[in-house]
A and B are shown apart, each in its own frame.
Chain A
């Protein structure tokens, strides 16, 4: 049964965690994700969940505690942002390579420095190669829905990978929105129990995890991880299909908005997609064939699927809410542009880095991009492929 509520993005995640009732939550507070463990600790104190709450002394420890718990056979969750995620860096690789399907609620925030607490994607983009599945939300509803899908994806025996459910700090984490929730019984049924084949507390079958891997074994284990990430793509779609049956809400690897006949398109991630859709709607009324793709799943990266969805586009802008200081463009730009390379003909593409440290993005920004794309599509100069948007000149 679905019912309506008004929740902030952080409340939505904490409520999803309550409905799932995981075995362990280990967390350390950091803006803007602090409210998630705060609300959850209240559920624990009020006896509304059976979870063991571990208030640790740092994020390195919260991820370590999750690793220990998950290896023991428990279902473990955590939440963090920005520097907290950066402090987990070492253990994020351990979680993924030990094949422990931990779920992390990431509330995206800029990395220091200079010190800044507002939204961009530099925290999760910085850790994109750690071997975690990454799923991004545009709004509170998607953050909630993605969190409910995380465990059925990550815990599947063909996958066994940890999952990050990302949402935009403050923009969705602290904004109240109308949201449709699933009743707790249906959530429990959908998410299911965590029943790993092997775990440390299984006394009939002693287990060692995280062994020293010499050169003669390490590469094989990395290939296994890479294969699991390929399997994850199919599993994400399977889980989305099951989710649609329960909720009526449809998810894929990305959302295509007005793409069917689009000549001009954007690819972007997160809440800015809502603003960009408003720009697309206005342009459509003016007769401009504008569309956009909002990427939901960044890891695994849906390269073939994106190429298929973008093959008819004439001019494309790829927007990164993170710098990679490559002097050539952000991570999304590099990967999407590479995904289009085998198309013949392929869209002409430019990249923008925008919204750093919470810098606002408005429909006017997107209109300006589409105007440039129209020019490029008409045979105009491509111009610089790596530029920034929203800074004072």
Chain B
């Protein structure tokens, strides 16, 4: 039986899959490309961003990565394009454009 979720895919034979789809490790959602669901796409204007990080706790996913106290971009692999970040940005640094492509 394959134990790691990242090693189970659409080619895995039934004998090697975990029973009932059990997952034996945490945080496996990071492997799932939920960004493919996006119909609208937030865009970051780095010039306008003051790194207040107000957008970060509002993101319903974890698609706004922070490093050293600074917003370092948008994780488009997971961002579903809800646009909440653009709504809450006080500086107009985040805007939403039509379509799924960044």
Looking at the complex, which one of A206, A210, A221 makes contact with B25 (CB distance below 8 Å)? A206
CA distance A221 to B8 in the complex (A): 13
Contact for A217 among B19, B21, B25, B28, CB less than 8 A = B21
With contact pairs A220-B14, A220-B17, A223-B14 given, residues A211 and B24 touching in the complex (Cβ less than 8 Å)? no
29 contacts between A and B (CB under 8 A): A99-B20, A99-B22, A160-B19, A198-B22, A198-B24, A205-B24, A206-B25, A206-B26, A208-B23, A208-B26, A208-B28, A209-B20, A209-B23, A210-B20, A210-B21, A216-B10, A217-B8, A217-B10, A217-B21, A220-B12, A220-B13, A220-B17, A221-B14, A221-B20, A223-B14, A224-B14, A224-B17, A224-B19, A224-B20
Specify which of A99, A206, A216 is in contact with B19 (CB 8 Å cutoff): A99
- Which of B3-54 touch A at CB < 8 Å? 8-10, 12-14, 17, 19-26, 28
CA distance A317 to B54 in the complex (A): 75
**Chain B residues with Cβ under 8 A from A220's Cβ?**
12-14, 17
How many B residues touch A, CB cutoff 8 Å?
16
CB-CB contacts of A183-224 with B at 8 A, as 1s and 0s?
000000000000000100000011111110100110111011
Contact A221/B10 with A206-B26, A208-B28 known, Cβ cut-off 8 Å: no
A209 touches B26 (CB 8 A): no
B38 to chain A minimum Cβ distance, whole angstroms, is 18
| Residue among A160, A205, A206, A221 making CB contact with B21, cutoff 8 Å | A221
Q: Does A98 contact B (CB under 8 A)?
A: yes
Assembly CA distance A317 to B28 (angstroms): 55
Q: Which residues of B contact A146 (CB under 8 A)?
A: none
Asked if A217 and B17 sit within 8 Å, CB to CB, the answer is yes
Interface residue from B10, B13, B17, B22 paired with A208 (Cβ < 8 Å) = B22
Binary per-residue interface labels of chain A (250-262) against chain B in the complex, 1 for a CB within 8 Å, 0 otherwise:
0000000000000
- Asked whether, in the complex, the Cβ of A221 is within 8 Å of the Cβ of B17, the reply is yes
A103 at the interface (CB under 8 A from B): no
Chain A proximity of B97: nearest CB distance (Å): 29
Q: For A207, what are the chain B residues with a Cβ–Cβ distance below 8 Å?
A: 22-24
Contacts of A160 in B (CB 8 A): 19
Q: Known: A220-B13, A224-B14. Is A213-B22 also a contact (CB below 8 A)?
A: no
